Amino acid sequence: MARRRPRPGTVQPHKPLRVLAGIALMLGSVAVALAILVQYAGGWGVPYFSFTNDRGSTCKNGLAGYTCSAITLADVEYVGNVDLPDDSSVVTGTYRSTHDYEMEAIIDVPSTDSSQALGNLNQAFGDCIDELPSPVSTKGMRYNCVMANADALDETEEPSSRLYIVGTGVRKDGTRVIGMVIKSR
Protein backbone atom coordinates (compact mmCIF):
# COMPACT_ATOMS: atom_id res chain seq x y z
CA MET A 1 0.00 0.00 0.00
CA ALA A 2 1.38 3.36 -0.92
CA ARG A 3 1.94 6.00 1.66
CA ARG A 4 0.14 9.25 1.15
CA ARG A 5 2.18 12.38 1.22
CA PRO A 6 0.88 15.84 1.77
CA ARG A 7 0.53 18.04 -1.20
CA PRO A 8 3.48 20.26 -1.88
CA GLY A 9 3.12 23.59 -0.19
CA THR A 10 0.96 22.37 2.72
CA VAL A 11 2.40 22.22 6.25
CA GLN A 12 1.59 19.73 9.02
CA PRO A 13 1.51 21.94 12.11
CA HIS A 14 0.55 19.18 14.57
CA LYS A 15 3.29 16.68 13.80
CA PRO A 16 5.97 18.24 16.10
CA LEU A 17 3.42 18.41 18.94
CA ARG A 18 2.51 14.74 18.47
CA VAL A 19 6.19 13.76 18.54
CA LEU A 20 6.81 15.78 21.72
CA ALA A 21 3.71 14.34 23.38
CA GLY A 22 4.85 10.81 22.49
CA ILE A 23 8.30 11.44 23.97
CA ALA A 24 6.77 12.92 27.14
CA LEU A 25 4.47 9.89 27.48
CA MET A 26 7.38 7.47 27.14
CA LEU A 27 9.52 9.38 29.66
CA GLY A 28 6.58 9.53 32.07
CA SER A 29 5.98 5.80 31.88
CA VAL A 30 9.70 5.10 32.48
CA ALA A 31 9.68 7.49 35.46
CA VAL A 32 6.65 5.74 36.99
CA ALA A 33 8.28 2.32 36.49
CA LEU A 34 11.51 3.53 38.14
CA ALA A 35 9.60 5.07 41.05
CA ILE A 36 7.81 1.77 41.70
CA LEU A 37 11.08 -0.15 41.43
CA VAL A 38 12.91 2.14 43.87
CA GLN A 39 10.04 2.12 46.36
CA TYR A 40 9.64 -1.66 46.52
CA ALA A 41 13.10 -2.96 45.57
CA GLY A 42 14.29 -3.20 49.17
CA GLY A 43 11.31 -5.29 50.20
CA TRP A 44 11.88 -7.55 47.20
CA GLY A 45 15.46 -8.19 48.34
CA VAL A 46 17.26 -6.32 45.58
CA PRO A 47 20.88 -5.78 46.76
CA TYR A 48 21.88 -2.33 48.03
CA PHE A 49 18.30 -1.09 48.43
CA SER A 50 16.88 -0.14 51.84
CA PHE A 51 13.66 -1.25 53.46
CA THR A 52 11.88 -1.08 56.80
CA ASN A 53 11.21 -4.43 58.47
CA ASP A 54 8.01 -5.44 60.28
CA ARG A 55 9.31 -4.15 63.62
CA GLY A 56 10.33 -0.70 62.34
CA SER A 57 14.09 -1.08 61.86
CA THR A 58 15.71 0.39 58.78
CA CYS A 59 17.68 -2.25 56.90
CA LYS A 60 19.76 -2.47 53.72
CA ASN A 61 20.07 -5.52 51.48
CA GLY A 62 23.47 -6.93 50.62
CA LEU A 63 24.48 -9.64 48.19
CA ALA A 64 23.99 -12.41 50.77
CA GLY A 65 21.50 -11.07 53.31
CA TYR A 66 20.73 -7.76 54.93
CA THR A 67 21.94 -5.48 57.72
CA CYS A 68 19.85 -3.33 60.02
CA SER A 69 22.08 -0.61 61.42
CA ALA A 70 19.51 1.18 63.56
CA ILE A 71 17.36 -1.45 65.26
CA THR A 72 14.31 -0.76 67.37
CA LEU A 73 13.44 -2.07 70.81
CA ALA A 74 10.89 -4.36 69.15
CA ASP A 75 13.70 -6.02 67.16
CA VAL A 76 15.84 -6.45 70.29
CA GLU A 77 12.92 -8.08 72.10
CA TYR A 78 12.12 -10.30 69.10
CA VAL A 79 15.65 -11.54 68.44
CA GLY A 80 16.54 -11.76 72.13
CA ASN A 81 13.23 -13.40 73.03
CA VAL A 82 13.04 -11.13 76.08
CA ASP A 83 10.47 -8.61 77.31
CA LEU A 84 12.03 -5.27 78.23
CA PRO A 85 10.18 -2.27 79.72
CA ASP A 86 8.50 -0.08 77.11
CA ASP A 87 10.38 3.06 78.14
CA SER A 88 13.73 1.39 77.40
CA SER A 89 15.76 2.89 74.56
CA VAL A 90 18.21 1.33 72.15
CA VAL A 91 21.40 3.41 72.26
CA THR A 92 23.07 1.51 69.45
CA GLY A 93 22.31 -1.73 67.72
CA THR A 94 23.05 -3.77 64.62
CA TYR A 95 21.37 -6.85 63.21
CA ARG A 96 22.97 -8.87 60.39
CA SER A 97 21.17 -11.68 58.63
CA THR A 98 22.60 -14.10 56.10
CA HIS A 99 22.09 -17.84 56.50
CA ASP A 100 22.70 -17.06 60.21
CA TYR A 101 22.00 -13.96 62.23
CA GLU A 102 23.89 -11.76 64.66
CA MET A 103 22.59 -8.96 66.86
CA GLU A 104 24.60 -6.53 68.95
CA ALA A 105 22.80 -3.91 70.99
CA ILE A 106 23.20 -1.53 73.92
CA ILE A 107 19.99 -0.62 75.70
CA ASP A 108 19.30 1.92 78.46
CA VAL A 109 16.53 1.16 80.94
CA PRO A 110 15.36 4.01 83.22
CA SER A 111 15.91 3.59 86.95
CA THR A 112 12.19 3.09 87.62
CA ASP A 113 12.20 -0.20 85.67
CA SER A 114 15.76 -1.33 86.41
CA SER A 115 14.91 -4.28 88.68
CA GLN A 116 12.08 -5.46 86.39
CA ALA A 117 14.51 -5.47 83.44
CA LEU A 118 17.04 -7.56 85.37
CA GLY A 119 14.33 -10.05 86.33
CA ASN A 120 13.22 -10.37 82.71
CA LEU A 121 16.83 -10.80 81.57
CA ASN A 122 17.42 -13.54 84.18
CA GLN A 123 14.24 -15.29 83.08
CA ALA A 124 15.28 -15.19 79.41
CA PHE A 125 19.03 -15.80 79.72
CA GLY A 126 19.60 -17.47 83.09
CA ASP A 127 21.43 -16.50 86.26
CA CYS A 128 24.44 -14.22 86.53
CA ILE A 129 27.86 -15.80 85.98
CA ASP A 130 30.67 -14.12 87.92
CA GLU A 131 33.73 -15.16 85.96
CA LEU A 132 32.72 -13.92 82.50
CA PRO A 133 33.67 -10.52 81.07
CA SER A 134 30.82 -8.18 80.19
CA PRO A 135 30.12 -7.20 76.56
CA VAL A 136 29.51 -3.64 77.76
CA SER A 137 31.94 -1.43 79.69
CA THR A 138 31.25 -1.69 83.42
CA LYS A 139 33.46 1.22 84.43
CA GLY A 140 31.61 3.32 86.98
CA MET A 141 28.75 0.80 87.25
CA ARG A 142 27.51 -1.28 90.13
CA TYR A 143 25.40 -4.43 90.34
CA ASN A 144 27.12 -5.92 87.32
CA CYS A 145 25.75 -9.15 85.91
CA VAL A 146 26.77 -11.29 82.93
CA MET A 147 24.57 -14.04 81.48
CA ALA A 148 25.72 -16.42 78.78
CA ASN A 149 25.33 -19.90 77.46
CA ALA A 150 29.04 -20.59 77.88
CA ASP A 151 28.65 -24.34 77.50
CA ALA A 152 26.36 -23.83 74.46
CA LEU A 153 24.03 -26.60 75.65
CA ASP A 154 20.39 -26.10 76.52
CA GLU A 155 18.37 -27.81 79.26
CA THR A 156 18.08 -31.06 77.27
CA GLU A 157 21.86 -31.27 76.76
CA GLU A 158 21.38 -30.53 73.07
CA PRO A 159 23.47 -27.84 71.39
CA SER A 160 21.73 -24.48 71.62
CA SER A 161 20.55 -22.89 68.37
CA ARG A 162 22.06 -19.58 69.44
CA LEU A 163 25.02 -18.27 71.39
CA TYR A 164 24.61 -15.23 73.59
CA ILE A 165 26.35 -13.09 76.13
CA VAL A 166 24.37 -10.41 77.92
CA GLY A 167 25.96 -7.96 80.34
CA THR A 168 24.24 -5.40 82.49
CA GLY A 169 25.05 -2.91 85.21
CA VAL A 170 23.56 0.14 86.90
CA ARG A 171 25.03 3.63 86.46
CA LYS A 172 25.21 6.09 89.33
CA ASP A 173 22.02 7.79 88.10
CA GLY A 174 20.14 4.46 88.39
CA THR A 175 19.92 3.75 84.65
CA ARG A 176 20.45 0.09 83.82
CA VAL A 177 22.71 -0.42 80.80
CA ILE A 178 22.31 -3.71 78.93
CA GLY A 179 24.77 -5.00 76.33
CA MET A 180 23.66 -7.96 74.19
CA VAL A 181 25.50 -10.09 71.67
CA ILE A 182 23.36 -12.87 70.22
CA LYS A 183 24.40 -15.13 67.34
CA SER A 184 22.75 -18.08 65.69
CA ARG A 185 24.65 -21.14 64.63
Closest CA to 161 of 171, 151, 153: 153
Mean pLDDT computed over 94-107: 92
The counts of H helices and E strands in the chain are: 3, 8
* Phi/psi of residue 170, nearest 5 degrees: -115, 125
Q: Is the pLDDT of residue 155 over 70?
A: no
35-66 residue pLDDT tens: 888 888 888 888 888 888 888 888 999 898 89
Above pLDDT 90, what percent of the chain?
Answer: 25
Residue 132 CB-density burial (10 A; 0-12 exposed, 13-18 middle, 19+ buried)? middle
* pLDDT of 2: 66
Q: Is the pLDDT of residue 91 over 80?
A: yes
Q: Is 111 helix (H, G, I), strand (E, B) or coil?
A: helix
Give residue limits of the domains in the chain.
Answer: 14-44, 50-184
Q: Is the pLDDT of residue 182 over 80?
A: yes
Q: Is the pLDDT of residue 7 over 80?
A: no
Q: Is the pLDDT of residue 176 over 80?
A: yes
Lowest mean pLDDT among 3-7, 77-81, 131-135: 3-7
Q: Is 43 helix (H, G, I), strand (E, B) or coil?
A: helix
Distances (CA, A) of 11 to 5, 14, 98: 11, 9, 65
pTM: 0.75
* pLDDT of 48: 85
* pLDDT of 153: 55
